[in-house]
Amino acid sequence: MSLALPLLHQIEALILASDEPLSLQRLRDLTGAETTDIRTAAAEIESFYADRGIRLVQVGGGWQFRTAPEFAEVVQGLWQTRAPKLSRSTLETLAIIAYRQPTTRAEIEALRGVKTSSNIVAGLQERGWIKVVGRKEVPGRPHLFGTTKQFLTDFGLNSLRDLPDSSQLLDEDEIQQIITDNQTEESELKDAEAQTTESSNEVYDDEAEA
Amino acid sequence: MSLALPLLHQIEALILASDEPLSLQRLRDLTGAETTDIRTAAAEIESFYADRGIRLVQVGGGWQFRTAPEFAEVVQGLWQTRAPKLSRSTLETLAIIAYRQPTTRAEIEALRGVKTSSNIVAGLQERGWIKVVGRKEVPGRPHLFGTTKQFLTDFGLNSLRDLPDSSQLLDEDEIQQIITDNQTEESELKDAEAQTTESSNEVYDDEAEA
Amino acid sequence: MSEALQSAEPPVQGNPSDQHQTAHPNLPPVHLDAFEGPLDVLLHLIRSQKLDIFDIPIALITAQYMEIIEGQAALDLEVAGDYLVMASTLMQLKSRLLLPRPQLDDEGNEIDPRQELVAQLIAYEQYRVLAEEMDTLPRAGRDVFVRSIFPESDEVERPLPEADLDALLLAFRSVLKRVGGEVRHQIFTETISVREQMAFVLERLKAGGMQLDELLQGYPGREALVTTVLAILELWRQHLITVVQSECYGSITLLPQTAEDDA
């Protein structure tokens, strides 16, 4: 018990709620604690759970709670009667890819307002619902994602055209509301788009006029 | 430590791995253990986590791990966006549906004394907190609304009985009774009205039993 | 501070034919936007002045209520109706209370004309309080958080989740509600078919460059053709493909950016 309990418990709560493994860096940003204290706390949590049903493990550069391997079989039983649900973050990511394809992770993150974990994208690829359709010619050459035939089949669609237009998903009042709300926030959002559209916009406009 | 550890740890692993609160019934099916043993184990896990960053809570008819409420602020830091505040009209509509279910929009409007916009009802449905549970057999056959399991889970309630103060809620007859009582005993009621509501409550209860 | 003290004056002991004919002069100004309707306004008036809800001084309350309503610059027509109906109810009550002979019920007891309004106020107040209490419950996603991803030990093979179109559309709806500005504008003006075609063209160019004519072959109908051309222009604009025309009126070649660079 070398540490103040709150830090240990804060870290425990953060790791449980996080969408992705939490790195030391992220934990430091979130708690404001020192590296050594975080390491000590994580080690304490790890040893605390060492012989329980839950384990704290280090994966993909961060910490995550997982079930203890010896209970694999019983845990497996969970999905024999009911398939797992798609998480909200997964659904949002998939919806953005469906509507905005071809799109990059940066755009998905700009729209969701949250960092999108690579787990989610990898999971969707594994599920066969999205695929890389190209790369975007911006620094870093990020992948461009699109949906697959499998996606259409599984969601009962003949083509993407069967998806309702985005404007139909909201009614007049809601659109009006959004417009009012956003007039004040307009500037904040400029940044996110600047990267994806504006620069290329200009190029296109020039060439079109030429 | 009255129980074999494996069961306790199995249950811990199962609850962590499940994407929804895990009911007693499912735990029994998955572990093959007896009801009493599962209850004992769950109670032990609950008290084990009572002062940590993670809590085991009973919500929506099952057990679920959640972050402790005192760490709301730091956990919130994981995301850029915060859960939007619920408007008073939304909360009042939800409260009426929760306490009076099944109920119609007309009843909600009569109670609140204002029109309830369809956006509010639609918004509550979209959040998965209310659903249409039937139709009222009156002209027009309006929808009857009730709350969902999701509502219980999201508001940290195990069942509708856990709604705050539900036993004190007065129905129309009880209110009429209070008014009559107050009118006949006018003289005693010149005090603060906080008292009046409570004391007349008791008066009613006595009479109901008589 | 002084305002608060003044409005917390000793309880007004009203009676049916109460003598207050003018509004309480010390009520702090209120705006209707802060209220959930006429019942809410009445409860505010009653509670903030510590009036007896079972013996509401109707004349006083009516005057105060009318003052608030008349004080509003513009009443939203949709809400106005409810407030005006209440105004007329209050006026009626006021005049009925002035009648020399009260109405009697079947058993010969006096009927208090305020009874119905009081019942309504009490019923509403209960839910108003309960709504507040409900808001203080630790709410998932606001105060407490649950796991949203479920990685298990490597030994566990988690089956694939099932597709759910409704859930997908709801998820996109909530994204649309959150985003704003140019992004929103762009999303609303683009049609899904152009987006679909963009992905399709990119896919076809994966293997290498292609003549425009070749790509456009097999698109019967003007609409499909227009969609494809729009998709190509959009891809070009976004630097996702390169469009090369070697000479005026010469054939147009589409090149995937990646193929060129990877080579």
Q: Do residue C238 and residue A136 have CB atoms under 8 angstroms apart? A: yes
Q: Per the CB < 8 Å rule, is B66 touching C86?
A: no
% pLDDT > 70, chain A = 78
Asked if the domains A5-73 and A88-169 are classified in one and the same CATH topology, the answer is yes
CB contact under 8 A, B10 and A67: no
Residue A28 contacts C, CB cutoff 8 Å:
no
The mean predicted confidence, pLDDT, of chain C is: 76
Query: Which residue type occupies C205?
Result: L
Amino acid C168: pLDDT: 84
Q: What part of A 39-58 touches C (C-beta under 8 Å)?
A: 55
Q: What is the separation, in whole angstroms, between the first and last Cα of chain C?
A: 77
CB within 8 Å of C123: residues ≥ 6 apart: B111, B170, B172, B175
For chain A, say whether B32 makes contact (Cβ under 8 Å): no
Q: How far apart are the C-alpha atoms of A80 and A160, rounded to whole Å?
A: 32
Cβ of A9 within 8 Å of Cβ of B52? The answer is: yes
Q: Which fold has domain B5-73?
A: Arc Repressor Mutant, subunit A (1.10.10)
Angstrom distance (rounded) from CA B12 to CA B6? 10
Whether A86 and C161 lie within 8 Å, measured CB to CB? yes
Q: Which residues of C191-217 are buried (b: 16+ CB within 10 A; e: fewer)?
A: ebbbbbbbbbbbeebeeeebebeebee
CB contact under 8 A, B53 and A11: yes
CA distances from C203 to A18, A116, A141, C209 (A): 34, 24, 17, 11
Alpha-carbon gap, residue A133 to B198, rounded angstroms = 68
Q: Which numeric CATH code is attached to A88-169?
A: 1.10.10.10
Task: Kindly state the helix (H) or strand (E) to which residue A131 belongs, with its residue range.
Answer: strand A130-135
Q: Taking CB atoms and an 8 Å limit, are B163 and C134 in contact across chains? A: yes
Distance from CA of C240 to the nearest CA of B (A): 30
Q: Which of A84, A89, A170 lies closest to C173 in CB terms?
A: A170
Q: Pick the more confident residue, C180 or A90.
A: A90
Residue B22 Cα distances to A118, B60, B65, B69, angstroms: 28, 9, 10, 20
Nearest to C112 among B18, B183, B192 (CB): B183
Angstrom distance (rounded) from CA B201 to CA B177: 9
Tell me whether A59 touches chain B (CB under 8 Å).
no
CA of A100 vs chain C CAs: smallest distance (Å): 6
Cβ neighbours of residue A189 closer than 8 Å, sequence gap 6 or more? A182, C179, C180, C181, C182, C183
Distance (Å) of CA C6 to CA C48, C66, C68: 10, 21, 18
Alpha helices in C137-239 (DSSP H): 165-178, 181-189, 192-205, 212-216, 222-237
The answer to whether A17 contacts B68, with C-beta atoms less than 8 Å apart, is no
Complex-level ipTM beyond the 0.90 threshold: no
Weakest-pLDDT range from A146-155, A159-168, C128-137: A159-168
Using the Cβ of B24 and the Cβ atoms of chain C, whether some distance falls under 8 Å is answered with no
pLDDT of B180 above 50? yes
Contact A174 B65 (CB under 8 A): no
Q: Per residue in C141-161, pLDDT tens? A: 899 998 877 777 777 777 777
Q: Which residue of A has its CA nearest to B77?
A: A30
Report the pLDDT value the prediction gives residue C208, as an integer from 0 to 100: 79
Q: How many CB pairs under 8 A join A and C?
A: 216
Q: Which residue has the tokens 């003007």?
A: C222
Q: Phi-psi region for residue C176, left (φ > 0), alpha (ψ -120 to 50) or beta? A: alpha
- List, for residues B123-156, the tens digit of each pLDDT value: 899 888 999 999 999 999 999 999 999 999 999 9
Q: Which residues of C touch A19 (CB under 8 A)?
A: 148-149
Domain ranges of chain B: 5-73, 88-169
- Identify the weakest region by mean pLDDT among B82-96, B191-205, C119-133: B191-205
Note the pLDDT tens digit of each residue in A62-85. Answer: 999 999 998 988 998 888 877 778
A146: which strand partners?
A131
In the predicted structure, residue A164 carries a pLDDT above the cut 60: yes
Kindly list the strands in the beta sheet with C241-245, ordered across the sheet, starting from the edge strand earlier in the chain: C210-211, C252-256, C241-245
Q: Is A11 on the interface with B (CB under 8 A)?
A: yes
- What are the chain C neighbours of A165 within 8 Å (beta carbons)? 191-192
